Structure 1
Amino acid sequence: MGFALVAKSLLMLFNCIFFLVGGALLAVGFYILFSPYSFDILSVLDNGIIQAGVYAIIAIGAFVFILAALGLFGACCKSKILLGLYLIILFVIIAAQVAVCAVVYAYSGQVNAFVTSQLQETLDDYEAENGTDSYSVGWNSMQIFFECCGTNNYTDWASTTWGGDSSIFKYESGAAYPITCCAVQDTTVVLSGSINEAAFTDVAKCYGDGESVPNSYMAGTGEGCYDSFQDYIISNSVLIGGVGIGLAAFEILLFIFALIVCFTMEKDEDVV
């Protein structure tokens, strides 16, 4: 009886918080989408990733809002139907997370190959070092942040449209890889259409002036971004694993609380 009351109270409290969070995400998403200034901003950016991100915020907000509403009002109003839907959705989420982890672990080789191929495809969509399209901005930013060059290594750029088209503007004439493959003095620099050459350690040496290629003046000594990304994940594995385990434990806890409230209602016990 007492534990059931605690379970119901915590279930309502947590879902009330998520209800507000979901509502806030919806509000932010719709504000960005329908603000009189947002259309002009998104049009200027011409960035599909940013535009898709706005819709993702709305979708996530709606999902969290609805799920939290089911849990909150199901517990508050003692509705078996609402709590039943809440339990089903929560179970599907937990099962999906377990399934994804199992698939990634069991088919890690295939997953690695797929990710590598996808990276290589987007590499070929790269337009220019000073481009404002999503692929150019994305690759420029990734190569600076992860201190890397290309998918597997710097030689990947030679076979791309950018590498094979001499008419495309290059900061270094005839360059085999973009200037963002060069080491920067401050890795927090994020490029979005303009490049400050002074931010790089030594552009001339990066391209082989008195140095062999690859060299230490290149980002990650020419290492590919896939390996750099893997290294980044491994170096932050404790944090990432902790967050993942914590989230899973929290979801299971909510599931247990909802089950307790449901069973208590079935026994016609007063948990108010």
Structure 2
Amino acid sequence: MGLTGCGKFGKGFLIVINIIFFILGLGLLIGGILMKVNVSAINDEVKPALNGITVSSFKLGDLVDNLSILFIVMGVFVLLVAGLGLFGACCEVKCMLVVYAILVLVLFIIKVTAVALWFTMKGEVDKTVKFSLLKSLKDNYKTDLINSSSVVSNAWNYMFMSLDCCGVNNSSDFLGFSWTHPGSSTSTPRTCCKNVDSTNYLRPACSSGYNDKGCYDAIKDDISTYGNVFAGVGITVLFIELLAVIFAFMICCQTGKESAI
């Protein structure tokens, strides 16, 4: 049985859309890899400070790290599904189109869940994480020496230097609570100085002053740069995925049994 006008349109639609899916999958894969490599909030030195914060039973540092891994996995999955749909549509192979439609439905559910989780977490982060970060800083920050015995203090110091931030809100967070600062005449950590790293943070004075941005805003900006892009991409393709499922089943219904091999 040959394809009708709607079937032929659906075939063309699937070919075009799966080429686009292939490109989008490649974008998710590359974006996830870049996020994993470049987002300073998820390196091993900074994560211990973030892991003291729990959001919806998830440790914040692990959550950010796992988001990048999720995007990489989704990118690979989209690439494989797009290839399956493209070949199935071009050759009108019924079994491949059925598998493709099922996988797209699974992907659709995953994306709806991921987008809903992102917006839910975003609201909760705004309400609770700043307070929790400040409490963690005041309870656990002991020294501005990056090789101290305090793992959490080391993590905060690396965060100050890698994200160019200071405290949770700003450097004033260090007023009013006690921490050890040997060799320093100020209550603000030397790791908060502008343009310093692990090799020069112990210089006598901050010649360029202290970082103005708080680490809460720095982390939020670091993450949202990638998160908003991925959320937007996910929402955009949801409707297209539904059409792809409909057309895949339409082609299956109009394709002869001889193609189901």
Smaller-chain TM-score bracket: 0.5 to 0.7
- For the residue of structure 2 that corresponds to 1:93, the secondary structure is helix
The 5 Å alignment of 1:57-206 reads 60-77=71-88, 78-98=96-116, 100-101=118-119, 103=120, 108=123, 111-124=125-138, 125-126=140-141, 128-131=143-146, 133-142=154-163, 144=164, 146=165, 149-158=166-175, 164-166=178-180, 168-170=181-183, 172-173=184-185, 175-182=186-193, 184=194, 189=195, 191-192=197-198, 194-195=200-201, 197=203, 200-201=206-207
- CA shift, 1:247, in A, is 1.1
Cα distance, 1:97 vs. partner? 0.9
Q: 1:111 to 1:15 in 2, by over 3 A?
A: closer
Q: CA deviation at 1:119?
A: 1.9
Alpha-carbon contact 1:75-1:83 (below 8 Å) kept: no
Cα RMSD (Å) of the superposition? Answer: 4.7
- C-alpha separation between the residues in 1 aligned to 2:9 and 2:66? 40
In structure 2, do the counterparts of structure 1 residues 190 and 93 end up closer, same or farther at CA, with 3 Å as the change threshold?
Answer: farther
**How far off its partner does 1:255 sit?**
0.9
Which protein has greater RCO, CA pairs closer than 8 Å, 6+ apart?
A: 2
Q: Give TM-score scaled by structure 2 length.
A: 0.58
Distance of 1:27 and 1:245 partners within structure 2: 16
Structure-2 residue corresponding to 1:47: 45
For 1:27 and 1:104, the matched residues in 2 are separated by 22
1:12 positional shift? 2.6
Matched residue type, 2:144: E
Residues 210-238 of structure 1 show CA distances to partners (whole Å, capped at 9, x for unaligned) of xxxxxxx5543xx74446777x69xxx9x
1:258 maps to 244
**Contact between 2:97 and 2:252, CA under 8 Å: does it hold in 1?**
no
Q: Distance in 1 between matches of 2:230 and 2:29?
A: 24
Quick one: distance in 1 between partners of 2:157 and 2:227? 31
User: Structure 1 length normalisation: TM-score?
Assistant: 0.56
Identical-pair percentage: 18
Could you tell me which runs of 5 or more consecutive residues in structure 2 were left unpaired when the two chains were aligned.
1-6, 38-42, 49-60, 89-95, 148-153
CA contact (8 A) 1:22 1:64 kept: yes
Aligned partners of 1:120 and 1:151 also within 8 Å: yes
Specify every segment of 5 or more residues in structure 1 that has no aligned partner in the other structure, as ranges. Answer: 33-44, 203-216
SS at match of 1:267: helix
Change (3 A) 1:76 1:165: same
| Cα distance in 1 between the residues matched to 2:234 and 2:131 | 30
CA displacement at 1:72 relative to structure 2: 2.5
1:10 to 12, 16, 20: 16
Counterparts of 2:226 and 2:210 in 1: how far apart (Å)? 29
